Structure 1
Amino acid sequence: MGQAREVMDRLTTAMDQKDRDTLAGCYAADAVAYTPDRGELRGRDAITAYLYQFWDAMPDVHYEHAARHESGDVAIDEGTIIGTNTGPLPHPSGNNLPATGKQLRMKSCDIATVKDGEITEHRFYFDQVEFLSQLGLMPEMSEH
């Protein structure tokens, strides 16, 4: 196992255990993340704040791996995010969406570039429509 895989596994464990210090330590101070819902996030603090919001919205959130990959300084995780929405969920508009009590099971993919033992770039991929639909936050699509 290389350094990229080790850091990505440490990040996943920190997420599952809600370990803020270890989570923050996985990212370089000037790391950049790209997200489907918030766009580009610059810096460790912005990235970790983004991830912490999921703990508040879904305290039981965890990740089930489907596949783990590594090539040089890049680690890729494919899997399913699972959690129950029991807390408010921040919306990109700045408002909070109320808890729905619904469970989420959503496929995701993460690609992280690691240098000197820290993630310098992290790309998050998940389907926003699936996310909002499963939580009942998106109007039903009507067939016309």
Structure 2
Amino acid sequence: MGQAREVMDRLTEALTGKPDLEVIGELFAEDAVAVTPDGGELHGRDSIVEYWRQMTDAVPEGSFESLHAYEIGNTAIDEGFFGGRNSGPIHMPDGESLPATQKDVRIRGVDLATVGEDGRIVDYRLYFDELDFLGQLGLLPEEESGEPS
């Protein structure tokens, strides 16, 4: 196992169970860039830690079930299911927040972390189906039944 895999595993551990934002911050370079489906492109460690704070507030005792774990050079790739109960506020991209739904979620996702020479993540990509996530929380509008117009 190489450095990228070790860093990704530490990140997963810091994000699940009882989240550890201090460790999460230590794992990202000061000028890291992250891309997420719901937060867009985030620049800098502080923005990335804030994103994870909001996500772990929304699902504070999340778990990760790994399906595939890879390491290619200085990049680690994980595919799996994130699950947990939405027992905290959901922060929206526009700055508003929604109250907790108390519903369980289980969403499939993929994340990639590229690690620099200093052992910190410099580039991070997270992919998951945001509509599936919101649908499981019951936050999508009900579709009207009937004939298409």
Asked if Structure 1 and Structure 2 have the same fold, meaning a TM-score greater than 0.5 normalized by the shorter chain, the answer is: yes
- Give the Cα–Cα distance (whole angstroms) in 1 for the partners of residues 121 and 27 of structure 2: 6
Shift of 1:71: 0.4
Give secondary structure in 1 for the equivalent of 2:101.
coil
Task: Point out where structure 1 has 5 or more consecutive residues left out of the alignment.
Answer: none
TM-score scaled by length of structure 1: 0.96
**1:101 CA drift (Å):** 0.8
Q: Residues of 2 paired with 1:34 and 1:95: CA distance?
A: 20
After superposition, the C-alpha distances for 1:45-81 in whole angstroms (9 at most, x for unaligned) are: 1001101112211122121111100000110000111
CA distance in 2 between partners of 1:142 and 1:5 (Å): 46
Q: In the alignment, is residue 82 of structure 1 matched against residue 83 of structure 2?
A: yes
Give the CA RMSD over aligned residues: 1.1
The equivalences for 1:56-95 within 5 A come to: 56-95=57-96
Partner AA of 2:94 in structure 1: S
- TM-score where L is the length of structure 2: 0.93
Which residue does the alignment assign to 1:4?
4
* Distance across 2 between alignment mates of 1:41 and 1:82: 23
- Once the two structures are aligned, what percentage of the paired residues are identical? 51
- After TM superposition, the runs of 4+ consecutive aligned structure 1 residues lying more than 6 A away are none
Q: CA separation in 2, counterparts of 1:83 and 1:136?
A: 15
Counterpart selection for 1:132 from 113, 131, 134 = 134
One-letter code aligned to 1:125: Y
* Greater C-alpha radius of gyration: 2
Unaligned 5+ runs, structure 2: none
* Count of matched residue pairs: 144
Task: Tell whether the 8 Å contact from 1:54 to 1:61 is kept in structure 2 after alignment.
Answer: no
Pairwise CA distance, 1:20: 1.7
2-structure distance, mates of 1:79, 1:61: 13
